Amino acid sequence: MTIKRKQCKAFLFLFLCVCSLQGSDAFRVGSSVLSTPRPDPKNPIFIARTRGRQVTERSMLSEAFLTVENFYITSPYVAAAITCGVKASAADFVAQKRQIRKREEVTGSVKSTFQSARNVAFLIYGALYQGMAQEFIYNDLYPMWFGTSSMPLTVLKKTVFDVFVQTPLLTLPIAYFFKAIVFQHSPREAIRRYVEDVTKKGLLQKYVLLWAPVQCLTFSVIPPHLRISFIAFVSFFWLIIFSSVSGKRQEIKTRDSDTCDLVDGTTCNIDG
């Protein structure tokens, strides 16, 4: 009997404790202790606040976009230099890291170093030629030479001149001359290496295949103040390939020196 009385008292005490807790704020439905009231999606106040936040976010994005666009319109040469310089440096950085990883895989424990001079050369080439010079050529000279129309014939004239005249005579030679200065090669050596890539390794053929369709878009549907940015976006991937081509004359001797990344996916032994 004593044990049963104790059990009854224990159950009674437990029951009273549960009842007292159940009546407290901690166990009330909607209490902040257990849960936070969920907003009703159909509540007009909730809808208004949500739409207000969305409008504010879109407004901030629109203002940021307009600020950037205004910068490219009002300061075209500065914008072009910054965009293309950073892009060229970043592309070469990625290409060098890829080359270093491949060399270390072949040579084992031999560590390859990052070529800062080569990266600076591409930065200068990107800022001065791909940025400022091409801003002047495409948005000042081309309109005078070929007109401002976006009709197919005008677009075709600009594209043909760019890939078949400007590129082999100006665009790629300038890149090789810049690298020749950095690597302390003579101008004659830079020309020799460029001619070798063109005649034996298919550099121009690959360039034309990439840029002919791209430039058709550039001169037809891209606004003038965004043309250099569009070219920079596309050429980011081109420069990854091009820096691999022009940076491999110091490649290890076990690689084939007669092949090129731009032709069949292998290496091209040139660094200037």
The answer to whether residues 231 and 214 touch, using CB atoms and an 8 Å cutoff, is yes
C-beta atoms surrounding 46 within 10 Å: 13
User: Under 8 Å CB-to-CB from 125, ≥6 apart: which residues?
Assistant: 88, 174, 175, 178, 179
- The predicted structure's pLDDT at residue 200: 84
Residue of 188, 165, 100, 174 whose CA lies nearest to 131: 174
Instruction: Sort residue 259 into left (φ over 0), alpha (ψ -120 to 50) or beta.
Output: beta
**Residue 92 scores a pLDDT above 90:** no
The pTM for the full model equals 0.65
Break the chain into its structural domains and give their ranges: 31-74, 77-264
User: Under 8 Å CB-to-CB from 249, ≥6 apart: which residues?
Assistant: 193, 269, 270, 271, 272
**Residue 239 scores a pLDDT above 80:** no
Q: State the Cα–Cα distance between residues 139 and 77, nearest whole angstrom.
A: 11
Please say whether the dihedral angle defined by the alpha carbons of residues 138, 144, 148 and 152, taken in this order, is positive or negative.
negative
Of the CA atoms within 13 Å of residue 205, those in its CB half-sphere come to 11
**Residue 140 scores a pLDDT above 70:** yes
Q: What pLDDT, in 10s, does the model give residues 179-194?
A: 788 778 888 988 998 8
Q: Which amino acid does the sequence have at 7?
A: Q
Residue of 63, 105, 103, 92 whose CA lies nearest to 178: 92
Beta strands, E only, the chain: none
User: Under 8 Å CB-to-CB from 33, ≥6 apart: which residues?
Assistant: 25, 26
Q: Which amino acid does the sequence have at 136?
A: F
When mean pLDDT is compared across 24-28, 43-47, 59-63, the lowest value belongs to: 24-28
Highest mean pLDDT among 32-41, 47-56, 62-71, 131-140: 131-140
Overall size of the chain counted in residues: 272
